[in-house]
Each structure stands twice: as structure tokens, then as C-alpha cells.
Amino acid sequence: MSPTTLLLPTYKQMLRTLTGLLDKAEAQQPDRAEQLLSASIASDMYPLATQLRFAAFQAQEAVFRLLGEPVPEALLAVAAEARDAGDAPGSIADARVRIDQALAFLDTLPDDCLDESGTTPITIDAPGRGIFDLTGAEYVRDWALPQFYFHVLMAYAILRGEGVDIGKADYVPHMFAYLRPETGIPA
């Protein structure tokens, strides 16, 4: 599996998962859905509005890093918006825009764009921690994927904890592409 075939489908699938989770939140809790953007797992953790934006940001950031290109200012602004979302959570429509922008960006990428990126040198400057040097392959496995899943699953956990009725089928809806047709059990 190249970084392209590993990372890009993962990002697209899981961003669509987030869209589906928001669909369910809005359908099930129409009067309360916008408030959920300020909910969090703990009072000193980032709220849902942040988790959604970090997922959208990181799915794009990793591509630029693996291509050895600077992360565009407009994209860094999404990360800043994420960090500020405790005070300015925006609306669900705003969050959907960030997810849709990430999906649209990923759709522009050639199918082999990251194939050579496994040996690209990656530097992560983590404020307060130090500087980390990895290859592209190590970055994908040990940083990009764990971080991205972190934000997707904190979003899931927040919504689940707030009473939105979601389950495994909402988390991995991409799996239904692999369903053996005659075995499908109607919901």
C-alpha cells in the first residue's frame, strides 16, 4: 500500500463519516444540534466544532507535507479557526463547509500523487515538545493516521455521549461497498 492508497481513501471515507454523523445529529436533535458544537469529552478538551475542523485540516495538511510543499495560509487559517472554536463554534453549516472543502481538495489529487512520498523527510515542530524527524512512511503511520483518527473519534464520542444514536454502521459506512449483495440485511 502506498501512502496514496492508504491515506487518501482513509481521509475521504472518514470525512464522509463525519458528514453522516452531523446528518444524524441534526435529524435526531433538531433543536439542540447547533449546541452540540460546543460539547466536549471534558471541560478542558476541545469541543466538537474543533474536532471537526482539525480532521478537515489534517486531511489536507498531510498531503502538502508529504509532497514537500508549504501548507497554504488559507489552510493554516482552518487550524487557527479550529483552535478558536471554543469561543467561536460557528454553525453546523460552517463545519460542513470545512469538511466539504477538504473532500473537494482530496478529489483534485492524482491517484498516484503520494506514491513516492514514503522517503520524503518530514519535520514536525511541536511547540513545547521539540522537533521530530521522520520519513514520509513513518509520518503517515505514526503521526498522520493516529492524529486524524483521534479527531474523528473524539467527534464520534462527543456526539455519542450527548445522546445521538449512532453506531458502527455510521462509523464505517464505506464498508457497505464490500457487502455481498444477497447477504445484506435490511435495516
Instruction: Catalog residues that contact a copy of itself under the rule CB under 8 A.
Output: 1-3, 5-6, 9-10, 13-14, 41-42, 45, 118, 124, 128-134, 137-138, 140-143, 145-147, 149-150, 153-154, 156-157, 160-161, 163, 169, 171-172, 174-175, 178-180, 183-185
**Residue 76 or 169 having the CB closest to a copy of itself:** 169
Euclidean distance between CA atoms 100 and 92, whole angstroms: 12
Residue 74 CB, nearest distance to a copy of itself (Å)?
25
The H or E element spanning position 134 is strand 130-135
Question: Are 15 and 148 contacting, i.e. CB atoms less than 8 angstroms apart?
Answer: no
| Nearest alpha-carbon partner for 166 in 152, 145, 146 | 152
List Cβ neighbours of 111 (8 Å cut-off, separation of 6 or more): 4
Q: How far is CA 114 from the centre of its chain?
A: 18
The three cell numbers of residue 185 are 440485511
**Residue 68 or 72 having the CB closest to a copy of itself:** 68
| Nearest alpha-carbon partner for 89 in 126, 115, 121, 50 | 50
**Residue 22 or 143 having the CB closest to a copy of itself:** 143
**Residue 71 or 137 having the CB closest to a copy of itself:** 137
Give all strands (DSSP E) within 35-145, no chain letters.
Answer: 121-126, 130-135
Any idea what DSSP says for residue 42? S
Residue 25 CB, nearest distance to a copy of itself (Å)?
14
Residue 93 CB, nearest distance to a copy of itself (Å)?
26
**Residue 86 or 94 having the CB closest to a copy of itself:** 86
Residue 173 CB, nearest distance to a copy of itself (Å)?
11
Residue 162 CB, nearest distance to a copy of itself (Å)?
9
